[in-house]
Amino acid sequence: MSSPPRKRVFPPIKVEPASTFLPGEREAVAEVCERLKGMPGALLPILHGVQDRLGYVPRDAVGVIAQELNLSRAEVHGVLTFYHYFRTEKPGRTVMHLCRAEACQSVGAAQLEFHARHTLGVEFHGTTADGAITLEPVYCLGNCALGPSVMVDNRLQGRVTPERFDELVAEARRRS
């Protein structure tokens, strides 16, 4: 007795989504790769290079970088997502890193964190609705005697009270 022939099921073919690169981004990624790929251990310098240029590492950059370095996309994705600093979403015009570590906690970082989240209306890693500010947590800025500390783009700020924080936000909004 033969069993009836099993119906064969084919999984649907996955179609690669269309490129989500914004104009100029692919060229920027390619240029950074070209410049740095000869370095030993080039992946981190390349990711830094891309983020320095574009403010983030577009998801589609993974494939380009993988090809340039002869790595798998999984390897590049793994590194990109391992490190807290690299981001795959476009940030606000100013990035504020707010220190959450112990030395800042001892002088009111938790209250500052509460204030920041409420006044900006975002959680950590979030960007304000007007696209002005992205709020990121950071674990020590090396300014532990003059906390609470915040880094506004690349500039360190010490003794940041909630009022000072509001000033920094206002300054950032004026700049952008």
Partner 1 sequence: MSAIRIFVPCDAAALGVGADETARAIAAEAKRRSIEVNIVRNGTRGMLWLEPLVEVETPHGRIAYGPVDAKSVPALFEAGFNSGNPHALCHGPTAEIPYFKKQERLTFARVGLTDPRSLQDYLQHGGYRGLKNALQMQPAAIVTAVTESGLRGRGGAAFPAGIKWKTVMGAPGPVKYVVCNADEGDSGTFSDRMLMEGDPFVLIEGMTIAGIATGAPRGYIYLRFEYPDAQRALEDAIVTARRNGYLGENIQGSQHSFDLEVRMGAGAYICGEETALLESLEGKRGMVRYKPPLPALKGLFGKPSVINNVITFASVPIILDRGADYYKHFGMGRSRGTLPLQLTGNIKYGGLVERAFGLTMRELLYDYGGGSLSGRPIRAVQVGGPLGAYLPESQFDTPIDYEAFAEIKAMLGHGGLVVFDDTVDMAAQARYAMEFCTIESCGKCTPCRIGSTRGMEVIDRLLAGEQPEKQETVLRDLCQTMIHGSLCAMGGLTPFPVLSALNHFPEDFRKSGRAAAAGHGG
Q: Which residues of the shown chain bind partner 1 in the complex (CB under 8 A)?
A: 40-45, 47-48, 69, 75, 78-79, 82-86, 97, 101-107, 138-147, 149, 151, 154-159
Nearer to partner 1, 122 or 140 (CB): 140
In the bound complex, what is the minimum distance in angstroms from residue 86's beta carbon to partner 1?
6
Residue 171 vs residues 42, 76, 102, 146, 175: alpha-carbon distances, Å: 36, 36, 27, 21, 6
Closest CA to 97 of 163, 171, 148, 53: 148
Nearer to partner 1, 12 or 41 (CB): 41
**Termini Cα distance of the chain:** 78
In the bound complex, what is the minimum distance in angstroms from residue 52's beta carbon to partner 1?
10
In the bound complex, what is the minimum distance in angstroms from residue 158's beta carbon to partner 1?
4
In the bound complex, what is the minimum distance in angstroms from residue 119's beta carbon to partner 1?
21
Nearer to partner 1, 34 or 130 (CB): 34
Nearer to partner 1, 120 or 138 (CB): 138
C-beta of residue 98 within 8 angstroms of C-beta of residue 150: yes
Nearer to partner 1, 19 or 139 (CB): 139
In the bound complex, what is the minimum distance in angstroms from residue 148's beta carbon to partner 1?
11
